[in-house]
Structures are given as structure tokens and as C-alpha cells.
A = this chain, B = another copy of it.
Amino acid sequence: MEKTVIELESAAQMLKLLGDKTRLTIMGLIKDGESCVCEFVEVLQMSQPSVSQHLRKLRDAGLVKERRRGQWIFYSVNRNHPTYPIVQQVLEQIPDQREKLQALEEAGLRIQCDL
């Protein structure tokens, strides 16, 4: 496994994207899973368009992947992104956001997205 140097420019772009509380939380939520937009909206308590716009930025940069499944679109971390090694380390060192998804589940609010 070679160690690849991450270009400064792409590193800066990725850091800028993670440098936003909303987007950093989104990445933390899907650090090893996937979630659909309605879940982000619930967890983040933000408007759907606002969440969509953040997701678009992450997707345009290639940091997340999307996968349509019926009516829902699921987002997950793109582990093939050149900067993924850093992304991963960042996500390991912030508080676990996935607990918030579990809370959703307990409240029965996650069911609608199960397909």
C-alpha cells in the first residue's frame, strides 16, 4: 500500500467543505453507512432545500456518493476520493454523530426510509 501525497489544492478544497458544521455532521452521520435526505433533515433540523444544497456541494466535490433507491436517494462517503485518508481521520476524531440516527430510529422516524 503506497502512501499517496494528497495535493494541496484538493486538500484545501476538501477541508473547506468539511469546515462547515452542517456538512461535517452529515459526513459524521454516514461515516460508515448511508442515509437519505429526509433523515438529514430530521437530524439536522434544517430545511430540505438547505440540506440538499449542502449535499450537492459534497457530491460535486466527489466526497459523497448517491444511490437512488425507489423514492429515496441515499448518500454515503466516497472512500475512493483522493483525500479520503484525511476525511477518515477527521471523522474518527469528532464526536460520533451516528447516535443521532439511533435516536431517530427509537422515535420511529427512520421507518419511512426503510425500503
Contacts and interface: CB of A to CB of B under 8 A. Distances in A.
Interface of A: 5-9, 11-21, 24-25, 28, 85-86, 89-90, 93-95, 97
Copies in the complex: 2
B95 A86 contact: no
A6 B92 CA distance: 10
Contact of A12 (B6, B9, B24, B93): B24
Chain A interface secondary structure, helix, strand, loop or mixed?
helix
A40 B90 CA distance: 27
Contacts of A8: 21, 24-25, 28, 94-95, 97
B86 A6 contact: no
A94 B17 contact: no
